[in-house]
Amino acid sequence: MIAFQKSELFQAAVSLLYPATCTICRKHVRAGEYLCDDCKAKIIRIVPPFCDTCSEPFEGSISTAFSCANCAYRTIHFEAAVAAYRGRGIVRDVIHEFKYNRQIHLRHLVGRWLRAALDDERLHECEFDIIVPVPLHPARQRERGFNQADLLAEQLSTHASVPCRRLLKRIRYTTTQTALDRSERMENLHNAFRLRKNADVRGLRVLLIDDVLTTGSTLSECARVLKRAGATSVHAATAARA
């Protein structure tokens, strides 16, 4: 963490010397902003209709609650996984910079997108006892230097006054999921997570946090572990949905 604090100090010093610029197009922006108005306007908000369980948007008009085909044919262990934005274009680029190019300061922007998910009525009406980030495998975390879900969960914890606890650990170094189809992802993730020693989630209402929701397989697998250990409910929020 020390390295981040240093880099943040550096960042603060830099922003005094140079005016703030848009993360994407480098146009000047107001202090404290990460995107210019033009880039902001390109961000895609997820609007109804979408799957009640995994938030997959649906093209067409449906006015009643529904589950998408993917959720109807598999066991989902979370109550609902919510994202307010599509993880495409600018949103994808910003999250990529944050995660892979160590642009740690972008966690504030990504954190805003995550907070927007909490306005969704599936989460808005819930109370949570703890916030739990989706863990990275220790080897991956060493390689990246941080876990993006940790940073987002900590911010949300401060904002929502709900304690953040790293209760899960990733015990399998899974290969990247991107090239796998849905059933391969499920197989790849099976038994990838475990509850940390002495973690007690009995009777707790959990809010699980990750940066991006893709198929929901990772969140579902984490939810399965938490529920098997006695969690009352597991909802999930992410900054974006692929």
Footprint on this chain of Zn ion (rule: CB under 5 A): 22, 24-25, 27, 36, 39, 51, 53-54, 56, 68, 71
The span from the CA of 207 to the CA of 226, in Å, is: 11
User: Minimum Å distance from CB 57 to Zn ion?
Assistant: 10
CB of 37 to Zn ion, least distance (A): 8
Q: How far is the CB of 23 from Zn ion (least distance, A)?
A: 7
What ranges in the chain are assigned the alpha helix state H? 2-17, 37-41, 69-72, 89-100, 107-117, 121-124, 138-144, 148-160, 182-189, 217-228
Q: What DSSP assignment string belongs to 78-101?
A: SS-EEESBB-SHHHHHHHHHHHHS
Q: Which residue has the tokens 């209402």?
A: 205
When the beta carbons of 39 and 106 are compared against Zn ion, the nearer one is: 39
Nearer to Zn ion, 42 or 190 (CB): 42
Q: Least distance to Zn ion from the beta carbon of 95, Å?
A: 16
**From the CB of 54, what's the least distance to Zn ion, in Å?**
3
Alpha helices in 176-216 (DSSP H): 182-189
Query: Which lies closer to Zn ion via its Cβ, residue 27 or residue 124?
Result: 27
- Shorter beta-carbon distance to Zn ion: residue 24 or 234: 24
Q: Measuring CA to CA, which residue among 37, 39, 64, 34 is closest to residue 52?
A: 64
147 or 214, CB closer to Zn ion?
A: 214
Measured from the Cβ of residue 98, the count of other Cβ atoms closer than 10 Å reads 25
By the 8 A CB rule, do 202 and 47 touch?
no
Residue 95 tokens, joined:
């999250």
Residue 76 or 192 with smaller CB distance to Zn ion:
76
Nearest approach, Cβ of residue 101 and Zn ion (Å) = 17
